Amino acid sequence: MAVQEQALLAALASVKDIYTGEDIVVSKRVQGLQIDGDHVTLKVVMPYPAKSLEAGLRAAIEAAAKQVGATNVDISFELKVIAHAVQQGVQLLPQVRNIIAVASGKGGVGKSTTAVNLALALVQEGARVGILDADIYGPSQPMMLGVQQRPESDDGKTMQPVENHGIQAMSIGFLVKQDEAMVWRGPMAVQALEQMLRQTNWHDLDYLIIDMPPGTGDIQLTLSQRVPLTGAVIVSTPQDIALLDARKGIRMFEKVGVPILGMVENMAAHICSQCGHTEHIFGEDGGKRLATEIGIDYLGALPLDMQIRLQADGGAPTVVADPDGKVARLYRGIALQVAAKVAKRSKDYSHKFPSITISKAT
């Protein structure tokens, strides 16, 4: 019996994205639909990287199609990440569709470790990802990515990003000696960051993760005003003193029109490697309470785990060092939430607006 298209589409509408809540028909993810008797062929276009979800989606689509008479279902997946809206008056960066800031109000909460693992998780889910280490005074990404080489320049004006673990990276740490202190005032640091951002030849990135410097001072404020940010992720420990500063970071982004994609609670609990006892060293659920109070999404909690530190210090962060481990799955779950939230944001139309120039009348 031949499958009827309307019946098939009605059945496929029952298949929903667990992160966005959208069904695959209304969200126009089903494309190239072909029906030949009881043989169905279709393509699912994903607006965010989600390789780990493909098996579940495939099974759900096959089950839905078989309910209306299909006996053979061929399904392919395609990733199509588009550029989304940024702050008003800030132009997008060429070759970069979305920029996500990973920030904290203070240092020492594991922001850089979280940033690099989120970037690596997005790569594993199928995206093209870069990371900009925006901490001029204490760059961490060269060590965490296990690279110390200087960027190459073909024209003497722009730089090629350094690559490792599938990530394109740029950091002041690639340009200076490892033990050299950057004794620069704020304006010089901001200028250096803008040069690294705009004079790096990023190659067709779906996402650029910016590992922001800690705090909410002039450098952070200037970056959040000048860099075309799709959104920001806030990292904090559950400790009250860290949450005070995290709140300031959230308010800074709100003032400049950068949406908060959510909060990550890092070092949420320590599990003893000897006895398995769980202890909340920095307090319990502080980040979750703050997220609820302010009205932002809580993306999840990460443990205080010695392996996370050892793997990052060794140049192979958790997501690549132990990709099937529990902690890597936590990072991927957070990355999927972040990417899905970006996908639901408004599309960027600024590139379609004509440039207006004013000249003197003759």
Q: Which amino acid is at 179?
A: D
Residue 42 vs residue 362, higher pLDDT: 42
- Pull the structure tokens for residue 33: 């639909």
| CA nearest to 223, candidates 233, 240, 206, 211 | 211
> Residue 218, SS3?
helix
Q: Please, what is the average pLDDT of the chain?
A: 90
Given a cut of 50, whether residue 275 has pLDDT beyond it is: yes
Which CATH fold would you assign to the domain 99-343? Answer: Rossmann fold (3.40.50)
- What tens digit of pLDDT does each residue of 139-187 get? 999 999 999 889 999 888 899 999 999 999 999 999 887 777 767 777 8
| CA nearest to 312, candidates 328, 336, 298, 334 | 328
pLDDT-derived band at 321 (thresholds 50, 70, 90) equals very high
pLDDT at 190: 86
User: CB–CB of 270/301 below 8 Å?
Assistant: no
pLDDT at 280: 86
CA neighbours within 13 Å on the CB side: how many for 101?
Answer: 30
Q: What's domain 5-79's superfamily in CATH?
A: Fe-S cluster assembly (FSCA) (3.30.300.130)
The percentage of the chain sitting over the pLDDT mark of 90, rounded to a whole number, equals 70
Q: Which amino acid is at 257?
A: G
Average pLDDT over residues 244-248: 91
Dist. CA 250–CA 242, nearest whole Å: 12
Contacts of residue 74, defined as CB under 8 A and 6 or more positions apart, other chains included, come to: 39, 40, 41, 42
Helical (H) or strand (E) element with 34: strand 30-36
| Helix and strand counts by DSSP (H, E) for the chain | 11, 13
Q: Where are the domains of the chain?
A: 5-79, 99-343
> Is 112 assigned a ligand-binding role in the annotation?
yes
Residue 208 vs residue 240, higher pLDDT: 208
Torsions phi, psi for 130 (to 5 deg): -125, 165
> Is 105 assigned a ligand-binding role in the annotation?
yes
> Is 108 assigned a ligand-binding role in the annotation?
yes
> Residue 250, SS3?
helix
pLDDT at 1: 63
Given a cut of 60, whether residue 113 has pLDDT beyond it is: yes
User: CB–CB of 1/38 below 8 Å?
Assistant: yes
Q: What is the dihedral of CA 57, 62, 63, 64, to 10 degrees?
A: 90
Dist. CA 327–CA 79, nearest whole Å: 25
> Is 45 assigned a ligand-binding role in the annotation?
no
Q: Which amino acid is at 358?
A: I
Average pLDDT over residues 308-335: 96
pLDDT at 353: 47
> Is 325 assigned a ligand-binding role in the annotation?
no
> Is 107 assigned a ligand-binding role in the annotation?
yes
Cβ-in-10-Å burial (0-12, 13-18, 19+) of 157 comes to exposed
Buried b (16+ CB within 10 A) or exposed e, 83-100: bbbbbeebebbeebbbbb
- What tens digit of pLDDT does each residue of 78-105 get? 999 999 999 988 989 999 999 999 999 7
Dist. CA 17–CA 44, nearest whole Å: 12
Residue 127 vs residue 87, higher pLDDT: 127
Partner residues linked to 164 by β-bridges: 167
